[in-house]
A and B are shown apart, each in its own frame.
Chain A
Amino acid sequence: MNEYKILFTGTMGAGKTTAIGSVSEAAPIVTDVANTDLSLGKERTTVGLDFGLLTLASGDRIRLFGTPGQQRFDFLWKILAKSAIGLIILVDNSRSDPLADLVVYLDGFAEDLSVLPCAIGIGRLDTHPVPTLEDYIDILANRNQLVPIMSVDVRRREDVVLLIDTLLAQLEANTFGA
């Protein structure tokens, strides 16, 4: 049995805390406090970390960590990324410039992404169809980053599990390729 650490990141409100809560077996650890940023219309925000646990059919255990979204917490991004085997970036397509949001995390985790697999989940595409998945793929292609990207609703367990599976599949591919 192995234990892996996966890190969820992305803008505030993209659904990191919700995603971890959707799949965690035990009650997730949440460090949300009152949000005082009016520009980010949300009552509570994560300032520490999210933590949840998930056991796979193989018996492997996944430790799920979530970061705060705001860039001022990037000191925690570095700390939380340590020993992670993969990164999941969540994007909220209802924000004003979600493509730019994605770039913030691609840049913020550039060092980790040079060695770690990644999967990207775009939320609220049903109500906010633009930009499209193709627009995101273009951005990634221009940066020479081949990262699987999919539409997700983090409130649905299957969607979050699919993101995690996609991440793990890359790990297996890497292991077999080596």
Chain B
Amino acid sequence: MKIKKGKLAAFFGFKSQNQEESTEQKSLPVTDKPIDFGEDIHTEQPAVIDSAIADSKATEPVAINSENLLEPSTEIEEKTVEVEEKATVADPLEVEATNTEFKMATPEPTMDYEHEEEHLIVNYSKEQLAVSEEKLEEFMRVCPGAYGVLISTVDGHELLYLVKRDIPVHKISTMNSSLLALGESIARESSQKLCQFVILENSDGRVVSLRINDILMLTCISSKDTNLGMLLSVGRNTAGDLMKILS
């Protein structure tokens, strides 16, 4: 199984050279809630709007995650996680957590609008993104059928994502921003209140989109190995956690 990860360096406010890296994924029991950085980040690491501030942060060591999961790289940073699957696996989650190797993958072919990404308002610290990435990993572990989870802006730019299949994250981010906005306006026109989820029910899977906050949204893509209730509840919890982290 391959897990592709990515994020936009633009969100750090800096760029640097491509880097090879190898690291072990932290083994994190699903039931055991990780330390909640939400409060700390809220008070000590506010969203960085000024790229100059982000630059200075970039030189600081990563305090929260010693594994340096979030080394800066080119405009789009991508890593491939190779997971060896054993024939008889008692707990697939454990295997995923231990036999993990990170590799740099070639960046996705860039699209015309790529240059726009350099001017995005959202600009989070490495710490915030590291903790957010852990939340995405946790989501993937808890939902066995999940094969994609994306944080993107409500106007369709992907910020951070994990995908196990080759899916076009640019397109998915953009299209789901439209879908969520349409869902929200359909709710309004139907005189219903808050739109909590936009759910796409397909023959072999589901795509669920929901808001994190005013400017961010979460998209969860899963096969039917995870039931809808589970997907919605884990999705909502993840979005709630991310709201605290990325405030």
Give the segment of A64-72, A118-126, A132-140 that binds chain B.
A64-72
How extensive is the interface on chain B, given as a class?
20 to 34
**Seed contacts A32-B181, A33-B177; 18 additional CB < 8 Å A-B pairs:** A29-B185, A31-B185, A33-B155, A35-B121, A36-B153, A37-B119, A37-B157, A38-B121, A47-B155, A47-B177, A47-B178, A48-B179, A68-B178, A70-B113, A71-B112, A72-B170, A75-B171, A75-B174
How extensive is the interface on chain A, given as a class?
20 to 34
> Is the CB–CB distance between B181 and A72 below 8 Å?
no
> Is the CB–CB distance between A37 and B120 below 8 Å?
yes
Tell yes or no: A127 within 8 A of B by CB.
no
What is the CA–CA distance of A68 and B181 in the complex, to the nearest angstrom?
Answer: 12
Contacts of A45 in B (CB 8 A): 155
Tell yes or no: B63 within 8 A of A by CB.
no
What is the CA–CA distance of A118 and B157 in the complex, to the nearest angstrom?
Answer: 31
| Chain A contacts to B: CB under 8 angstroms | 29-40, 45, 47-49, 68, 70-73, 75-76
Instruction: Give the distance to chain B from A68, nearest Cβ to Cβ, in Å.
Output: 7
Instruction: Give the distance to chain B from A154, nearest Cβ to Cβ, in Å.
Output: 21
> Is the CB–CB distance between B189 and A38 below 8 Å?
no
Instruction: Give the distance to chain A from B119, nearest Cβ to Cβ, in Å.
Output: 4
Contact A71:B113 (CB < 8 A) given known A33-B154, A47-B155, A48-B185: yes
Contacts of A68 in B (CB 8 A): 178
Which 10 residue pairs spanning A and B have beta carbons closest together? A39-B119, A38-B119, A31-B181, A33-B154, A48-B181, A48-B182, A36-B153, A36-B121, A34-B215, A72-B113
Contacts of B30 in A (CB 8 A): none
What is the CA–CA distance of A78 and B155 in the complex, to the nearest angstrom?
Answer: 19
Tell yes or no: B116 within 8 A of A by CB.
yes
> Is the CB–CB distance between A29 and B113 below 8 Å?
no
What is the CA–CA distance of A29 and B177 in the complex, to the nearest angstrom?
Answer: 16
What is the CA–CA distance of A36 and B120 in the complex, to the nearest angstrom?
Answer: 5
Tell me the interface secondary structure of chain B in the complex.
helix
Contacts of B170 in A (CB 8 A): 72
> Is the CB–CB distance between B155 and A34 below 8 Å?
yes
> Is the CB–CB distance between A33 and B181 below 8 Å?
yes
* B152 nearest in chain A by CB position: A36
* A31 nearest in chain B by CB position: B181
Instruction: Give the distance to chain B from A77, nearest Cβ to Cβ, in Å.
Output: 11
Instruction: Give the distance to chain B from A133, nearest Cβ to Cβ, in Å.
Output: 28
Contact A31:B174 (CB < 8 A) given known A38-B119, A47-B156, A70-B113: no
Contact A36:B157 (CB < 8 A) given known A70-B113, A76-B178: yes
Tell yes or no: B214 within 8 A of A by CB.
yes
What is the CA–CA distance of A48 and B174 in the complex, to the nearest angstrom?
Answer: 10
A–B Cβ pairs within 8 angstroms, 11 of them? A29-B185, A34-B155, A34-B214, A36-B153, A37-B157, A39-B119, A47-B178, A71-B113, A72-B156, A75-B174, A76-B178
Contact A72:B178 (CB < 8 A) given known A36-B120, A37-B119: no
What is the CA–CA distance of A71 and B179 in the complex, to the nearest angstrom?
Answer: 17
